[in-house]
Amino acid sequence: MRPHLLRPRCFPPRSFHPSRQAGLSLVELMVGVAISLTILVALVTVFVNTSRNNAELARTNSQIENGRFAMQLLQGELTHAGFWSTHLPQFDDLTLTSIPGDVPASVPDPCLAYTAANWTSSYKSGLLAIAVQAYDAAPAGCSAVVVDQQPGTDVLVVRHAETCVAGSGGNCAADTAGALYFQASQCAAEIVGSARTGSTSTTLRMATAASAVDEAYAGMTLRIISGAGAGQSRTITTYSGPTRDATVDTAWTTTPDASSVYSLDPVLDTAGFNLRKRDCATAADKRKFISTIYYVRNYAASAGDGIPTLVQSRFDLQGGTLAHPATVTPLIEGIEGFRVELGIDSLSDAASAVNFAQAVSWANPSVLTSPTNRGDGIADGAFVHCSTAVPCTVSQLMNVVALKLYLVARSRESTPGYADTKTYTLGNAAWSIPGGSSSFKRHVFSGAIRMTNISGRRETP
């Protein structure tokens, strides 16, 4: 045998280079990608669901907040309704021994622009007698003010004097020339004064404590509330300070004498604020006249945006004219339904009908605790809804002592995949969801408000 055939074979050693290291197989790679994609989809789903839930929660919170704010705003305004400082309408004055002379003859037009011809003493008396009015559509005379009204909603009018004195500083508005103010007297010779001997068929000689300034009471309404000539009212055309003689626009049917007791109506005007405080020397406070119309408009910022909004129009100077502005102020978005029902005080505590055509009749004249022909400040029977078909009367409106408010608050944005199939009842009527808006979520708010300034006058011990 050959020698080289007996030698062992030599093999070169294996070399291990990093670039030649074995990696993942295709199957392993695909499994890893699939797992990663699964985790990524799960994370995206969680993120999307969380974002959607947060957006829905924000919509719900905004909806509830807007509904509560709207109810709070209206309740606060209605709490002040019928506040006329120290003035007390005669028909609500239980100390008056004669037939009240300021019972309104008709429901006042809430949008009547201010002029001397429009704002007669009778019209002003109606404004002070009726603190709230309600309608289911734009009232007569308000077609230029209540525009783009949301179908199926009401209109509410609220009146009162400003709670602060004009120009007193703080949040109270400045005393503005040409604005409309209310002034009520605290001087006894102006609230309830005893006439003196010397009156004629066209004059009344007022008490010596009356103003000594010429024309101080010119333009004011003078009423004879008891004694000779009781029940008559006249407008003062001229007034003599030295003699305290008030000349009236129409001759008296019955000439007043020393037995006559008179009163001066408060001032509701742009000038002539000559009534005085209790000392009969200092000028009485002036308060701005507040008359506000609330209704729901079918858009928020621009026509057609589809966001129903609670708006207001407040009586004020508009281009030099005192009127309700045609351009209203948007208040709260998302208010879609609005219904007002009135509680009427039509019975006394003895269940007798209210009758202002008579003087106060007491169940026991020696103990003046129960007037038989005046209200007791409590709403009687079912609450009333004022409508075009059955409008509320003067008798009803001047005896409103409570209100029930119903609001439907709607989310500003629709909820994908949601369909509102609920049935809503506002007070004593069903409320229908506007067509094409079932994808919005809604919530009903309701509240009962006592008209403190009116009901409180009628309470007896």
- Among 269, 300, 318, the domain-final residue is 269
What is the domain range of residue 311?
A: 59-162+289-458
Is there a single domain that holds both residue 207 and residue 155? no
Q: Is 207 left (phi over 0), alpha (psi -120 to 50) or beta?
A: beta
In a domain, 33, yes or no: no
Domain count, the chain: 2
In a domain, 109, yes or no: yes
Is there a single domain that holds both residue 230 and residue 343? no
Is there a single domain that holds both residue 383 and residue 435? yes
Residue 1's pLDDT is 47
Identify which has the larger pLDDT, 18 or 110. 110
Is there a single domain that holds both residue 420 and residue 317? yes
In contact, 78 and 403? CB cutoff 8 Å: yes
H-assigned helices in 130-245: 188-191
In a domain, 63, yes or no: yes
Is there a single domain that holds both residue 265 and residue 301? no
Q: What angle do CA 74, 78, 83 make, to 5 degrees?
A: 145
Is there a single domain that holds both residue 148 and residue 214? no
pTM for the model stands at 0.88
pLDDT above 90: residue 436: no
In a domain, 221, yes or no: yes
In a domain, 230, yes or no: yes
Q: What is the mean pLDDT of residues 353-376?
A: 94
In a domain, 406, yes or no: yes
Both tokens of 351, joined, read: 């269940």
Is there a single domain that holds both residue 320 and residue 393? yes
pLDDT digits (tens, 9 = 90+) for 54-87: 676 777 788 899 999 999 999 999 999 999 999 9
In a domain, 50, yes or no: no
Is there a single domain that holds both residue 307 and residue 381? yes
pLDDT above 50: residue 382: yes
In a domain, 77, yes or no: yes
